[in-house]
């Protein structure tokens, strides 16, 4: 794994937790709560997050298939890594 900050590592962990809640537990409301926690954590740490992709996640959370949501989460994770490299 590339050298990433502790903040980015925590965000990635939370994204993984959100994905597990969707895929393994089918608990989309808890996944929504985790995504909210990611936003709050990122804001508190001054870490810019891809807000448009997070908004897209919320928009399709209820109706999308787990694979679609996993793809969105992976895309957010890739952005987190890229943003962290630029910092």
Residue-wise pLDDT tens digits, 14-67? 999 999 999 999 999 999 999 999 999 999 999 999 999 999 999 999 999 999
CB 14 within 8 A of CB 34: yes
Q: Residue 87: its pLDDT value, please?
A: 84
Domain count, the chain: 1
Q: Residue 4: its pLDDT value, please?
A: 93
Q: Note whether residue 44 is domain-resident.
A: yes
Q: Residue 2: its pLDDT value, please?
A: 59
Q: Note whether residue 34 is domain-resident.
A: yes
Task: Determine the structural domain holding residue 74 and report its residue range.
Answer: 6-86
Q: Note whether residue 45 is domain-resident.
A: yes
For 18, other C-beta atoms within 10 Å of its C-beta total: 26
| SS3 call for 87 | coil
The model's pTM is 0.93
CB 82 within 8 A of CB 2: no
As a whole number of angstroms, the distance between CA 15 and CA 75 comes to 10
As a whole number of angstroms, the distance between CA 49 and CA 83 comes to 8
Does the pLDDT value for residue 69 go beyond 90? Answer: yes
Task: Give the angle 87-58-27 at the CA atoms, nearest 5°.
Answer: 110
């Amino acid at each position: 794994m590339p050298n990433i900050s502790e903040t980015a590592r925590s965000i990635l962990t939370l994204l993984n937790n959100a994905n597990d809640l969707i895929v393994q537990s089918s608990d989309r409301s808890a996944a929504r709560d985790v995504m909210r926690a990611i936003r709050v954590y990122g804001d508190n740490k001054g870490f810019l997050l891809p807000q448009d992709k997070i908004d897209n996640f919320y928009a399709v959370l209820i109706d999308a298939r787990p694979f679609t949501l996993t793809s969105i989460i992976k895309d957010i994770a890739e952005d987190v890594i890229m943003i962290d490299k630029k910092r």
